């Protein structure tokens, strides 16, 4: 039997992806399946090491609880989206800008790249926790928030300029969060840095010969070529703020399952959370996809 070229390609593609499919079934589908089972039953720990899944009277009881019975979950779920609208554009544009600055040749570039890489290492949560515990010990306090920067003075300053209060609130929240956002942009900066390296030098030569200004070169050469990465990183940034340890919904679910030992209800909440997150990401994807510059692929 002779296979057509198209058929061969689709088999080859499947084989390239095969390891992932195996991993998906073994290490993702199984835990997810357990999570789904938990959400539709009531998990009870037995006397020994085992556990039993008791059937519910109404199969959607856990979901009903999440929306109607729980005091915090619905509010947390919907308020946690509000921040995304300024956080995500800021992080993506800031990291693109930083990456293009770091991509230029100048003295001290290596040191600067190292500094911009630091948040990936330090910001992993572990180190920050240790530092925070240390400061708490010294100050004899027990705050959860790491507040290196005090920005209360700024709000007062802005109020005296007579700007509308709504605007001031936006600005001051932005400034308060700016250090946090910078910390969360490190991975994006690194990816953009490599994306910018993959723009062939000849594109820039052409732009230069044609007399393009630096600004025009950026918007008409650099930006279009990195749009695939802009889309990917936008999606990643959204996911990252969902799965961040600081995310209110997530930390609520985790603490709920740990303190109340209500794994079934927590499972239902997390399923709702995933569904909302996926819908949100899908909307963003469909809105931005038409703007992405793509080289055609072989069918």
Partner 1 sequence: MKKESKTVSDNSRRIEISPAYYLGKSLSTLLRWLFLISISFVILYPLFYMFSMSLRSTSDFYDITVVWVPKNFTFEHFKYVLTKLGIEKPMFRTALITVVCAAAEIFVCSAVGYGFARFKFKGSNILFGIVIFTIVVPPQILNLANYLLVKNFDIFGIIGALSGAPSKINLLDSVWAFFLPAVSGMGIRSGLLILIFRQFYASIPVELEEASLIDGCGFLKTYFMIMVPNLSNTFLLCSILSVVWYWTDYFYALIYLPTWKTMALQVQRIYELLYNRLGLTGDRTVYNIIPKTLAACLVFILPLLIMFLVIQKWFSQSIENSGLVG
Restricting to residues 128-187, which ones interact with partner 1 according to CB under 8 A? Answer: 128-131, 133-134, 137-138, 148-149, 178-179, 182-183, 187
List the one residue out of 200, 190, 231, 175 whose CA is nearest residue 98.
190
Binding mask 192-221 for partner 1 (x = CB under 8 A): -xxx-xxxxxx-------------------
Please, which of residues 236-265 interact with partner 1 by CB under 8 A? 236, 239, 242-243, 245, 250, 253-254, 257, 263
**279 contributes a contact to partner 1 by CB under 8 A:** no
- Enumerate long-range contacts of 44-47, CB under 8 Å, 24 or more apart: 45/261
Please, which of residues 38-57 interact with partner 1 by CB under 8 A? none
Single residue of 167, 174, 278, 283 touching partner 1 by CB under 8 A: 278
Residue with Cβ nearer partner 1 (158 or 232): 232
**298 contributes a contact to partner 1 by CB under 8 A:** yes
Binding mask 2-41 for partner 1 (x = CB under 8 A): -------xxxxxxxxx-xxxxxxxxxx-xxx-xx------
* Degrees, nearest 5: CA angle 42-44-262: 65
Residue with Cβ nearer partner 1 (9 or 159): 9
| 8 Å CB contact between 188 and 90 | no
As a whole number of angstroms, the distance between CA 227 and CA 218 comes to: 12
Please, which of residues 78-117 interact with partner 1 by CB under 8 A? 98, 101, 104, 106, 110, 112-117
As a whole number of angstroms, the distance between CA 235 and CA 109 comes to: 29
Count the neighbouring beta carbons within 10 Å of the beta carbon of residue 11. Answer: 11
Question: With contacts defined by CB under 8 A, how many residues of the chain interact with partner 1?
Answer: 95
Residue with Cβ nearer partner 1 (130 or 159): 130
Residue with Cβ nearer partner 1 (96 or 187): 187
Contacts of 62 (CB under 8 A, 6+ apart): 39, 40, 42, 56, 264, 265, 267, 268
The torsion defined by the Cα of 246, 249, 255 and 259, in degrees rounded to 10, comes to: 160
E strands along 18-131, which residues?
Answer: 41-45, 51-55
Minimum gap (Å) between residue 42 Cβ and partner 1: 15
Minimum gap (Å) between residue 266 Cβ and partner 1: 8
As a whole number of angstroms, the distance between CA 197 and CA 191 comes to: 10
């Amino acid at each position: 039997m002779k296979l057509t070229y198209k058929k061969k390609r689709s088999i080859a593609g499947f084989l390239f992806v095969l390891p992932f499919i195996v991993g998906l079934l073994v290490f993702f589908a199984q835990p997810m399946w357990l999570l789904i089972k938990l959400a539709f039953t009531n998990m009870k720990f037995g006397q020994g090491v085992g556990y039993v899944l008791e059937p519910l009277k109404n199969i959607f009881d856990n979901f009903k609880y999440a929306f109607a019975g729980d005091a915090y979950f619905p509010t947390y779920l919907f308020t946690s989206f509000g921040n995304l609208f300024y956080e995500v554009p800021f992080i993506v544009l800031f990291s693109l800008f930083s990456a293009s600055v770091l991509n230029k040749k100048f003295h001290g570039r290596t040191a600067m790249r190292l500094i911009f890489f630091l948040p990936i290492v330090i910001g992993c949560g572990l180190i920050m926790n240790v530092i925070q515990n240390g400061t708490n010990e010294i100050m004899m306090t027990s705050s959860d928030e790491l507040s290196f920067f005090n920005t209360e003075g700024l709000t007062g300053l802005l109020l005296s300029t007579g700007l509308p209060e709504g605007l001031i609130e936006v600005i001051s929240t932005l400034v308060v969060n700016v250090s946090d956002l910078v910390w969360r942009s490190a991975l994006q900066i690194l990816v953009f840095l490599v994306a910018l390296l993959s723009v062939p030098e000849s594109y820039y030569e052409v732009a230069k010969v044609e007399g393009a200004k630096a600004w025009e070169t950026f918007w008409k050469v650099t930006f279009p070529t990195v749009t695939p990465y802009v889309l990917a990183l936008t999606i990643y940034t959204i996911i990252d703020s969902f799965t961040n340890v600081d995310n209110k919904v997530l930390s609520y679910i985790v603490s709920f399952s740990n303190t109340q030992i209500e794994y079934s209800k927590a499972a239902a909440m997390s399923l709702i959370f995933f569904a909302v997150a996926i819908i949100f990401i899908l909307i963003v994807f469909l809105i931005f996809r038409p703007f992405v510059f793509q080289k055609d692929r072989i069918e």
